Amino acid sequence: MYVIIIGAGRTGNTVIDLATRDDHEVVVIERETELAEAVSTTYDCLVLNADAASKEILLEAGIEEADALISTTESDSVNLMITMFGKQYGVETLVSSINDPAHMELFEDLGVSIVESPHRLNGQYLYRAVQHPAIQDFMPIAGGAEIFEATVDAGAPIDGRSLIDADRDGLLPEETIIVAIVRDDDLVIPQGETEIRADDVVTIFARNGATNRVTNAFTGP
């Protein structure tokens, strides 16, 4: 079996150990250099020291040929994005850890098998919550990019606009992508004509991070 494992922390390391013991063909993506090097020297597998929240990196890892994709990061948003890519490329088995049980239905709607793990708050998370109270969860990514969740306020600049309208009117910086929308407990995978509405919980990828320009589009100044 060809298995891609995202993350080489405590949970990911256990998965790597079990998968390599069973002689599966394993590719590991880990953005932390020390963790990536430790896996490379310990296990018989290919290790990519890179950020897995990238279609290019997942393609390099062979997602088009993978039989299983296992995401073990501490961010449900990242795990969700990664498993969405897995579904897009037809990976048969999708498995993800989940840190907040409230997100379970999002993953289940994608057909993802879920393993719960404790939710860990860290100083960076708390600091971001102070900077941008509208952000409910976020994950920093290499190069200053971030994935985060926010709830759309009534009357916000993007409220009632489609993604095409938002792009035409320059509401969001370039390389800012709305990855998913939770609306009335349903998961919506947004496309160009999808309209953003008040009370939507949106998962956002921002190449330059959760700047005021990005968050103000969803919450107002």
Report d(CA 145, CA 12) in Å as an integer. 22
> Residue 57, Cα to own-chain centre: how many angstroms?
14
* Phi, psi (deg, nearest 5) at residue 113: -80, 135
**What mean pLDDT do residues 71-88 have?**
89
The pLDDT value given to residue 102: 80
Q: How many residues does the chain have?
A: 221
Domains recognised in the chain with CATH numbers: 2-116 (3.40.50.720), 123-219 (3.30.70.1450)
Q: Give pLDDT tens digits for 167-213.
A: 899 988 888 889 899 999 899 988 889 999 999 999 999 888 888 88
Q: Is the four-CA dihedral 196, 55, 17, 147 of positive or negative sign?
A: negative
- CA distance linking residue 217 with residue 47, whole number of Å: 38
pLDDT band at 53 (very low <50, low <70, confident <90, very high): confident
What's CA 129's distance to the chain center, in Å? 18
Instruction: Please say if the pLDDT value at position 128 is more than 60.
Output: no
Least confident of 66-70, 82-86, 110-114, 197-201: 110-114
Q: Which of 90-94, 114-118, 136-140, 189-193 has the lowest mean pLDDT?
A: 114-118
Nearest-5° Cα angle at 219, 218 to 220: 105
Q: How many H-runs (helices) and E-runs (strands) does the chain carry?
A: 8, 11
Residue 150 to residue 90: CA distance in whole angstroms? 29
* Of the listed ranges 80-89, 102-111, 112-121, 163-172, the one predicted with least confidence: 112-121
- What pLDDT was estimated at residue 153? 92
Two tokens at 188?
């919506």
User: Would the pLDDT of 158 be above 90?
Assistant: yes
Q: Tens of pLDDT along 26-42? A: 999 999 999 999 999 99
Write the CA distances from 55 to 4, 51, 64, 89, 115, integer angstroms.
13, 10, 11, 10, 24
* Residue 98 confidence (pLDDT): 80
Residue 120's pLDDT band (boundaries 50, 70, 90)? Answer: very low
* β-strand partners of 183: 186
Q: Which residues of 119-142 are buried (b: 16+ CB within 10 A; e: fewer)?
A: eeeeeebeebeeebebbbbbbbbe
Element containing residue 123 per DSSP (H, E): helix 123-131
> What's the token pair of residue 140?
């920093």
Burial class (CB in 10 A: 0-12, 13-18, 19+), 153: middle
Using DSSP's 3-state secondary structure scheme, residue 27 falls into strand
Contact predicate 98/114, CB 8 Å: yes
Can you say how many angstroms the Cα of residue 28 is from the centroid of all Cα atoms in its chain?
16
pLDDT at 18: 86
